[in-house]
Amino acid sequence: PGNPEFVGKRIRVPEAMCYPRPLQDRIPILIGGSGERRTLKLVARYGDYCNLFGDPERVRHKVSVLSQHCVEVGRDPQEITVSHLGPALVASDQEALTLALDRYRPTNTSKDVYAQSAMAGTVDEQIGRYRELAEAGVQLAIVSLPDLDESAAISRFAEIIEAFA
């Protein structure tokens, strides 16, 4: 087939050559953010993925707003994969969690504030949290582990993954 025409605000290219041709029609678009008036409207119109953050209640609300925007632009909300970005400080039990919080929290941050921002919890608590996120509409989790310098961190998180396999 011929070369497509490109017409932009400032430039027009009658035959925009692109070789080799892409294997897919277009690359998927992931839009991160949760602004209800602009960002989620952009997701509804153009996004394939919507990357959110926050607790399950906040995520549930943002997914609801995104769904409304999708309806407004005539799009099925199910076409958009909702992902969640956040850390997960995982411990085997409460005693280990207390030690991990002491070890990893910045000196200028209280233990409670750091526990919340690091989404700290035991394996069982984390499984519950990810279940709540799934119920709120999250289909994909993007996780950072603050304690990767500890060899058992991945093993503990593997227990959470197994709960969803």
Give 10-residue mean pLDDT values along the chain (165 residues).
81 82 83 97 98 96 98 98 97 96 94 95 97 98 94 94 93
d(CA 126, CA 100): 15
Domain membership of residue 38 (yes or no) is: yes
H or E element, residue 72? helix 56-72
Domain membership of residue 1 (yes or no) is: no
Main-chain phi, psi angles of 59, to 5 degrees: -65, -45
Domain membership of residue 79 (yes or no) is: yes
pLDDT recorded at residue 53: 92
CA distances from 35 to 38, 50, 70 (A): 6, 11, 15
What is the total count of domains within the chain?
Answer: 1
Cα dihedral 121, 125, 128, 134, rounded to 10, equals 10
Domain membership of residue 116 (yes or no) is: yes
Domain membership of residue 3 (yes or no) is: no
pLDDT recorded at residue 13: 87
Domain membership of residue 31 (yes or no) is: yes
**Residue 22 is which amino acid?**
P
Domain membership of residue 51 (yes or no) is: yes
Domain membership of residue 73 (yes or no) is: yes
Domain that holds residue 32: 10-164
